[in-house]
């Protein structure tokens, strides 16, 4: 079970984007793409077949999954995540403080 999933609200804990928060757009193995974090400028050629103009495009680049933590809105900070098996057999993610992430 992954600790970080698509749609999670995360905070960056290290690197040039430390302290920034955003939602996970995509998880690719050990890398994640977070909205409005690690924005890079990409020089693209025009592609008439895809109806895409050329120019400088800003988009989010991937960052390593170890550089983000799940954001705990109750404590207003990033927190570590563990997995726990409930009595009915479901596996859920829980914050280390004990609060359940998945309902």
C-alpha count within 13 angstroms, C-beta hemisphere, residue 20: 17
Maximum alpha-carbon separation in the chain: 57
Does residue 51 carry a pLDDT above 90?
yes
For the four alpha carbons of 44, 49, 53 and 59, in that order, the dihedral sign comes to negative
Judge whether residue 102 has pLDDT over 80.
Answer: no
Confidence of residue 32 (pLDDT cuts 50, 70, 90): very high
- pTM for this predicted structure: 0.85
Which has the closest alpha carbon to 13: 75, 74, 72, 66? Answer: 66
Q: What is the pLDDT of residue 103?
A: 59
Please give the angle made by the CA atoms of 24, 50 and 52, to the nearest 5 degrees.
75
pLDDT score for 2: 84
Q: Is the pLDDT of residue 27 over 70?
A: yes
5-25 pLDDT, tens per residue? 999 999 999 999 999 999 999
């Amino acid at each position: 079970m992954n600790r970080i999933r698509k749609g999670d609200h995360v905070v960056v804990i290290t690197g040039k984007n430390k302290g920034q928060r955003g939602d996970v757009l995509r998880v690719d193995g050990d890398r994640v793409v977070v909205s409005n974090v690690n924005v890079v400028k990409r020089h693209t050629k025009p592609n008439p077949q895809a109806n895409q103009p050329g120019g400088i495009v800003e988009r989010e680049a991937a960052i390593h999954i170890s550089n983000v933590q799940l954001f705990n809105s109750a404590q207003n900070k990033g927190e570590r995540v563990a997995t726990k098996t409930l009595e009915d057999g479901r596996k859920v993610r829980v914050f280390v403080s004990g609060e359940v992430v998945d309902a």
